[in-house]
């Protein structure tokens, strides 16, 4: 999940998922920022995911590694409210749950959500976000749906303007949030998201890869 060259359009298998056609879509490209080649997301009163399908054995390689950066955190965002549900950067992992973990009530809720938002709605999802106010480690249900859980991986302006390495145990987190040791990772997405607050944001994402729990992340040299 690394890139070879700069491009105005992010190459396949990445694709833009524009969930709400009423708002502009966040723009995505591949470019070099501070020596690191990666995805650049530019949001202006906008929201869209940049996503790709992923198949990973989370029992063998449960750790997701990446690098990310933001120009600045958002000002008005507040993950506890719908009006503030925006992030300068987020990494979104989507899961399919075993059928026996999806009761008829949840099955109906998911079916309804998919009639509104399309097949991009997963059984469950975790967002690792660069927040503006809550401390690192904060965990909350998404303001719109408890099928998505928010985990603050970076916060504030202290690391803005530079690349920051991230490392998270995806399997451990999906068990903690959804009690699902057999959840199957199906999609990885990134976003800069400003449609609720009406702000602007610019974020970068690079070097996505999975490793074993005892292995080190491997980031390319600038």
pLDDT digits (tens, 9 = 90+) for 25-41: 999 999 999 999 999 99
The residue assigned the tokens 């524009």 is: 18
Residue pLDDT, tens place only, 140-174: 999 988 889 999 999 999 999 999 999 999 999 99
Number of residues assigned to the chain: 222
Residues 6+ apart with CB under 8 A from 17: 48, 49, 50, 51, 120, 189
pLDDT level of residue 113 (50, 70, 90 thresholds): low
Residue 107 has pLDDT above 80, yes or no: no
Residue 111 has pLDDT above 80, yes or no: no
CA atoms within 13 A on the CB side of 185: 27
The average pLDDT across 7-34 equals: 92
Using CA atoms, how far apart are residues 128 and 171, in angstroms rounded to an integer? 14
Using CA atoms, how far apart are residues 12 and 157, in angstroms rounded to an integer? 32
The predicted pLDDT at position 100 comes to: 74
pLDDT above 90: percentage of residues in the chain: 77
**Encoding tokens for residue 138?**
């904060």
Domain covering 15-211, topology: Jelly Rolls (2.60.120)
Using CA atoms, how far apart are residues 150 and 138, in angstroms rounded to an integer? 8
List of E strands, 97-142: 124-131, 139-141
pLDDT level of residue 98 (50, 70, 90 thresholds): confident
Maximal CA-CA distance, the chain: 50
Using CA atoms, how far apart are residues 54 and 74, in angstroms rounded to an integer? 29
pTM of the model: 0.91
The residue assigned the tokens 């949840």 is: 106
Domain boundary assignment for the chain: 15-211
């Amino acid at each position: 999940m690394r890139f070879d060259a700069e491009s105005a359009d992010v190459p396949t298998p990445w694709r833009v998922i524009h969930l709400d056609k009423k708002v502009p879509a966040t723009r995505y490209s591949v470019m070099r920022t501070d020596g690191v080649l990666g995805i650049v997301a530019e949001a202006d009163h906008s929201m869209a995911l940049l996503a790709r399908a992923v198949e990973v054995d989370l029992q063998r390689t449960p750790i997701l590694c990446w690098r990310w950066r933001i120009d600045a955190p958002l000002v008005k965002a507040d993950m506890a409210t719908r009006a503030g549900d925006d992030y300068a950067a987020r990494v979104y992992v989507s899961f399919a749950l075993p059928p026996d973990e999806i009761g008829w009530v949840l099955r109906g809720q998911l079916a309804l959500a998919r009639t509104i938002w399309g097949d991009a709605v997963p059984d469950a999802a975790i967002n690792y976000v660069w927040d503006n106010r809550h401390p690192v480690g904060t965990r909350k249900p998404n303001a719109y749906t408890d099928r998505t859980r928010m985990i603050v991986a970076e916060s504030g302006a202290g690391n803005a303007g530079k690349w920051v390495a991230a490392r998270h145990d995806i399997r451990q987190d999906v068990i903690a949030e959804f009690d699902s040791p057999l959840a199957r990772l199906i999609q990885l997405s990134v976003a800069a998201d400003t449609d609720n607050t009406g702000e602007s944001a610019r974020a970068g994402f690079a070097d996505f890869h999975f490793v074993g729990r005892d292995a080190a992340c491997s980031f390319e040299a600038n």
